[in-house]
Each structure stands twice: as C-alpha cells, then as structure tokens.
Homo-oligomer: A and B are copies of this chain.
Amino acid sequence: MKPYAEMTKEELLEEKEKLDKEYDAYLAMNLHLDMSRGKPCKEQLDLSMGMMDVLNSKVDLRCEDGTDCRNYGCLDGIPEAKVLMGDMMENHPDNIIIYGNSSLNVMYDTVARAMTHGIMGNTPWGKLDKVKFLCPVPGYDRHFAITEYFGIEMIPVPMTKDGPDMDMVESLVSSDEAIKGIWCVPKYSNPQGYSYSDATVRRFARLKPAATDFRIFWDNAYGIHHLYDDDQDYLVEILAECKRAGNPDMVYKFASTSKITFPGSGIAALATSLNNLEDIRKQLKNQTIGHDKVNQLRHVRYFKDIHGMTEHMRKHADIIRPKFEMVEQVLEEGLGGRNVGTWTLPKGGYFISFDSLDGCAKAIVLKAKKAGVIMTGAGATWPYGKDPHDSNIRIAPTLPPVSELKTAAELFVLCVKLVSVEKLLEA
C-alpha cells in the first residue's frame, strides 16, 4: 500500500473521509474491549484448575523436611519450592528465597529496604541527596511507579533488539555514584518482547559501577513464557555470569508463577548471592514469620518438577499464540506499507510494542477509548508517564477472546491510520 507520507493533500482528505466513516461504524457498535493489561484469559486460568485438587483434607501437608506447612515458620521457603523455582529460574535452590504471591511486592520491598537500611552496610538511599535508576525504555510502568514513589530519579535508556543501549549503561553506571540500580525485563521484555543478547548479559555482568551498592533489578517475569515450542530465546544466566565476572553480589533476580498458575495466588521468588540473601534475611525476619507454605506445597505437588511446569507452559502458549499472531496479522494487513507505525513480533512474553509517528500515541489511544477499546495509557511505558516522542503504545493481546481481539485490533489499526492522516494533514 502507498505510504501516507507520499499522498497528496487531496488523497489524504479522501482517505480521512473514508476512515471517518469506518470509525463512525465502530462507534455505533458500542464496544467494551480491553487490551490494556497483561492479564491471562479465562482459558489460561482454567489450565491450572487441577492445582485446586492436589491438596485436600486427606493429604499430608508436611513438606520434604518434615515441616508442617500449616504452622508458623520457615522464613525463606520450603525446600521443594526452592528446587522447583530454582529449576525455573536456572539458579541453585540455596540462592533462593520464596516469597508471597507477588514478585512486584518483592521488588518494592527490595527498594524500600535499600531506602531505609541500605544494601550490605552501605548508606541507606533515603539518607542520600540523590538516588538514580536507569530505566530501559519502553519499559514496565509498575517498575517506574516503585522508583517514582520513593523519589528516585529515573534516567531513560533506549532499548535495542539486543537489550538496553549498553554503551550508555556502562558509561552512566561507571561515572555516577548516585546511580544505584537499573530495571531490566531481560527476556521477552515488557513491552517489546525483546530478549537480551549474550553480549548484553555479559556486559551487564562486567559493569564497573561507581556505587558499591549498585544492583541490577533483573525481573525475569517471562523466563519460561514462550510462544513457540521450536523457536525460543535463551539467555546467559545472570547470577552465574556476574559470579564469573567477579561481581557476585550485583544482581537481584525476580520471578513468580503469576502467569503460570493464578495471578495473585501464585508464588514469587528472589534469587541472588548468599551475601545478598544474608543481608535480606536480617530484614525479612522482622517483617514476617514466613510466607504461605501451603501454597508453596500446592504448587510443587501440582507441577511435581520443572518438566511439569514446562509442559504446562506449552498449553498457555497454545492459547495465546493465535492471539499474538492475529494481532500481528491485522497490523500487517492494515498498516503494511503505510509507513505510519512499526511493531514488534515477540516470541514470548505478554506484549506487542507499537510505535506510531511521533506525536500520535496519545491521540490514537484516546480515539480507541472513545470507540470502547481500552489500551494501556500512552506514555505508560516511560518513566513519569512521559514519552518524549509520544509514539509508544503497549498492546496486550492475551485477555480478550480471539473474536473480540480481532475487532479491537482492527479498530486500533483504524485509529492509527486516522490519527496519522490527521497528523500529516496538519503538517
């Protein structure tokens, strides 16, 4: 199709008239569709219903080491949960603490602890004049919300297909002692679905931070969340690589089963060095007597081992892969050749990232909303909600049924075209 930028004013006006009519037709449909959040759909949740059966009143609720999971105790998780999550995260069970239902909560607590008590004997961040985090962009809004809440200055770092711009990361981290962390979603990143290349991970592990308490916040949210069985991304394991590089304490790695079993009723985990774990336990013992061991046991008894979990993830993929492919197809059919947007083709994770012409994202999201399709707010993928190009939009295809998703994607494409044409007419 002809790029809009090559159309004459008359052609654009004609196109706009046509698109306006299409849009009016959508308005008349009175839609209520949601592509805003990375939520599993009902069919995905149904996959884990068997987990509700593995524990019942006849089952022995003691774990392997004899601990009665029904009672107090066991601050950092039952042994078999550490093994399962260790296999999932590619880390040794001894390097793992099992938490409650939310890895976001673990990240929040990790920042909160650094604010009030510092990391491994260093000055609490709250006592410093300035604390900064690097934020690969586009990125995850809830990461940015945590650092914003604690008054941490966020510095955007552009993402590439291989991960964050490592020249920039290296230069900033080694020169500015106020930089204490970086938010990473290293595999099937949020929202682009990019996975960090081997070179990127190696350069992360070899960082020479000016701050001794600099930490990589490695949110491995989509570690086993592949879309394709025969085409998966593999990452160099960051803890091991940091250890080899002589930076054993530089990374906190987070994961959870939220998008494996039930969001909100899964188990979260942190993997890090023994030094960091010792530092964390000093705080954790004041915060709680222990997390939900019955739910840990429920997960282990259900999956049995990492193979059970892997097979389970194939079923998730079978449900959501067609949704990703359908959205990608609608984008290609509607926008291919128009040169008014680019989008990613992830092999895993929960999102597709879309970039419109500069200055169009907010208008596109607003137009979709007016016609009853909720997208993630434009700007959400940037710190402080401020996308300087006003171009990035996160598409979350998992929640709606396929038929609704098709309608929503088609409306989205229409909104992109309409706003782009209007933009070009303004110029």
Residues in A lying within 8 Å of B, measured CB to CB = 37, 39-40, 42, 45, 48-50, 52-53, 55-57, 59, 61, 68-74, 100-102, 104-105, 108-109, 112, 115-117, 126, 142, 145-146, 149-150, 258, 262-265, 283, 285-295
Contacts and interface: CB of A to CB of B under 8 A. Distances in A.
Nearest to A267: B292
Contacts of A108: 286-288
A116 B112 contact: yes
Listed from nearest, the 7 A-B pairs whose CB atoms lie closest are A265-B294, A49-B57, A70-B262, A72-B263, A45-B70, A108-B287, A149-B286
9 contacts: A42-B68, A53-B56, A53-B57, A70-B262, A70-B264, A100-B101, A101-B288, A104-B288, A265-B293
Q: How many of these chains are in the complex?
A: 2
Contact of A145 (B40, B116, B286, B295): B286
Contact of A116 (B48, B126, B289, B295): B126
Contacts of A295: 265, 292, 295
A289 B68 contact: no
A57 B52 contact: yes
Given A55-B52, A262-B294, A289 B104 contact: yes
A71 B126 CA distance: 35
B149 A283 contact: yes
A262 B290 CA distance: 12
A74 B264 CA distance: 9
A292 B264 CA distance: 5
Contact of A52 (B56, B115, B146): B56
A130 B69 CA distance: 41
